[in-house]
Amino acid sequence: MSDLLTTAEGAWGDGSVRLTAAGIVITAVVIAALVIFAAVLRQRGKKERVKITTKQLVFSAAAMALALVCSMIKFADLPLGGSVTLFSMLFIVLIGYWYGPYVGVMAGVAYGLLQFVIEPIFYTLPQMLFDYPLPFGALGLAGFFSERKWGLQAGYVTGVIGRYLFHVVSGVIFFASFAPEGMHPLVYSLGYNATYIVPEAVITLILISLPPVARALQYVKRQTDRP
């Protein structure tokens, strides 16, 4: 493991580690394998052959790229992870909204792993899972609302709540020692994670509910070549 991990001095305090170059490469391979496995599994799970069109791949890749770029535009950056970004969660939610929860969740998991590769600092593997692939995968739950009225808004709220709950659990289990003296770890985790998730969520909901933006997003959805 020493070839894959190194001590992350000055990051989250004692005990955190960082991926080495070899660790980053292996993680990238895992992301690629995950995407391929998900595509094969989906194909076998259907009675009819599933055809993934070029347009679907382009739209999904573009949404993930936009999410990644917007995640780097931060209005607030918390010391133990988490930041208020430029609508980055919305683009992962959109993939689920376009193509359903299966594709949305898998895209979110892959995106979470990409986020981890960009800043590969963690304590343990379970903590990494609860702070990267699982919470971002939860954003894909928006796909369950793709055909409903106000589906994007409902899906966005559902996805964000899913992400929030994973981070809260991570905070209680893995970051309890950072809670101020006398404060319950659950209260600390609820407050800490709400600090960066709620502001971005509220601003995004206001934006996507504006009539011109809502019409534009509906137009984009009609162009996505949903199966």
CB 132 within 8 A of CB 113: yes
| CATH code of the domain covering residue 19 | 1.10.1760.20
Of residues 94 and 10, more confidence is placed in 94
Confirm if 104 and 95 have CB atoms less than 8 A apart: yes
Interatomic CA distance for residues 141 and 7, integer angstroms:
35
Rounded Cα distance between 25 and 3, Å, is 12
Does position 72 have pLDDT exceeding 80, yes or no? yes
Is 60 within a domain?
Answer: yes
Cα 138 from Cα 164, distance rounded (Å): 9
Task: Give residue 10's pLDDT.
Answer: 47
Q: CA 200 to CA 8: how far, in whole Å?
A: 28
Is position 227 within any domain? no
Amino acid 40: pLDDT: 56
Please give the average per-residue pLDDT across 192-196, as a whole number. Answer: 97
Domain of residue 86, residue span: 5-222
Cα–Cα distances (Å) from 17 to 83, 127, 180, in that order, read 20, 12, 23
Point out the least confidently predicted range of 135-149, 158-172, 182-196: 135-149
Within a domain: residue 28? yes
Tokens, residue 38: 């998900």
Among the ranges 17-31, 45-59, 81-95, which has the highest mean pLDDT value?
81-95
Alpha-carbon distance of 175 to 195, in angstroms, equals 16
Query: What is the count of structural domains for the chain?
Result: 1
Q: How far is CA 138 from CA 94, 110, 120, 132, 151, in A?
A: 13, 12, 20, 10, 16
Unique residue bearing structure tokens 């391979």: 29
